Amino acid sequence: MSTYPGLRLTAPCGGTVEVGTPVVLAPMAGITNLSYRQLCAEQGAGLYVCEMITSRGIVERIPKTFQMLEFAPGEAVRSVQLYGVDAGVMARAADILCGEFGVHHIDINLGCPVPKVTRRGGGGALPWKTDRLAAILTRTVKAADAHGVPVTVKTRMGIDEDHLTYLDAGRIAQDAGVAAIALHARTVQQAYSGQARWEHIAALVNAVSIPVLGNGDIWEACDALAMVEQTGAAGVVIGRGCLGRPWLFRDLADAFDGRTPQPYPKLGEVAAMLRRHAELLAGIHGERHGLTDLRKHMAWYFKGFPVGGEIRRGLGLVSSFAELDALLARLDPDATYPPSEAGIPRGRQGSPRAHVTLPHGWLESREIGEEDLSAAESDVSGG
C-alpha cells in the first residue's frame, strides 16, 4: 500500500483521472514526445503530459500541431498541455481535443518564460491580467467538462518578485472549476536560474482547497519527498530532472510507495535504456530520423560517466542502429554511476533576466478587456 496517496483529478461534472503515484512528467518541447513518454511510463509512475500545443493550431487544424498529438496504444491517460490567450479559441480547442482525440486530461500553460511570448502578453505574463485569466479558465473548463475531462493549470510565482500572481491565479483557478494547479516556484524573470522557492508552494497550498503540485529543483526522489513534506503539496511535477534519467520515475515510484531505494544504474544499464529509447523513436519516425532525434539526449544520458571524447562525438552523430550498437559495445558496462552527478541540476539554467519583456503599459492594470493577444501564440507549439 502506498505511503503517500495517489492523485485524483476531478472535473466539475465528476469525471476523474486517477494517478496512482502523485508524479507528473512535465511537458518539454522536443523531449516529451510519444517515445519519451512511453519510456518514462515503463518505469512505472504517474501522469505523462504531451508536449505543449497551441489552441489556435488545433482550431485551425494545422498539420504540424496535429502531428504532435500522437499517443501510444497503451497510453491509458491521454494528457495534453494546451496554450492559448483567447478564451473562445481555448474552449474550441478543448472540445476538439476531448471529442476528436479522446484526450482524458488537459493542462493549461500559464508559465512560459520565453521573451518572444511574454513581450506579447502570453505565457507567464498572462496571469497578471485577471479578467483574461478567469475567462480562459472558465470557458476551457466548461468545454472540457462537457466530455467529463478535468483541466489543470501550470503557472509560475509571477512576473518578478514585485509582481507575484500565483495566489490570485490559484483562487481564480479554483473558482473556475480547475482540478489542480501546479506551481513552478520561480518567477518569469528567474527563468530556470537560481533556486526554486518552495515556501511559495506551501503558501499556495494554504490559499486554495484544490490539489497543488510542486515543481522546481527535484533532481532525486528524496527531493520530491522533501518538497511534499515541507509544503503539503499533493504531488510533484518533474521536468529537467529526468533528462537522460528516465529511471528517476522508478525511483520516485519506490519513494512514494515506501520501498527501499534501488541503486543507481551502471553504465551498461544506462546504455540499455538509451537503446530502448532509440527503438521507440525509430518505431515512430524511422531509423534515421529517430536516431537523429536521439542525438540531443546523448550528453544527458552519459553525463559524468567515463565514456571518452571519441565515443561521445560518435554518439552525437549516430544515424543507424549499427553505428549506435558499435559505440555502445565499447562502453564499460560495469562503470558505476558518478556520485558527483547525484542531486545536480540538469538541462538549461542560465542567469536571471535584468527585466521581463512585456507589452507597453502591461503592469499598469490587472485587466485587459478584449484586447487581441493572438500574436503571443505564434511559434510556441512544443514549449
Catalytic residues: 112
Cα→Cα distances 208→17, 168, 211, Å = 20, 10, 8
Q: How crowded is residue 309: how many other Cβ atoms within 10 Å of its Cβ?
A: 7
Distance, in Å, from the CA atom of 52 to the CA atom of 82, rounded to the nearest integer, reads 6
Q: Are 23 and 45 spatial neighbours (Cβ–Cβ below 8 Å)?
A: yes
3-state secondary structure of 201: helix
Cα separation values, 70 from 50, 81, 103, 144, Å: 8, 13, 11, 19
Buried b (16+ CB within 10 A) or exposed e, 332-349: eeebebeeeeeeeebeee
d(C-alpha 234, C-alpha 222), whole Å? 16
**Rounded to 5°, angle at Cα 58 from 53 and 63:** 90
Exposure of 329 by Cβ count < 10 A (0-12 exposed, 13-18 middle, 19+ buried)? exposed
Overall size of the chain counted in residues: 383
Find out whether 126 and 364 touch, Cβ atoms under 8 Å.
no
DSSP-derived secondary structure for 273-332: HHHHHHHHHHHHH-HHHHHHHHGGGHHHHTTTS---HHHHHHHTT--SHHHHHHHHTTS-
Sequence-distant (6+) residues with CB within 8 A of 229 are: none
Q: Where are the alpha helices (DSSP H) in 22-86?
A: 34-41, 55-59, 63-67
C-alpha cell at 287: 531509423
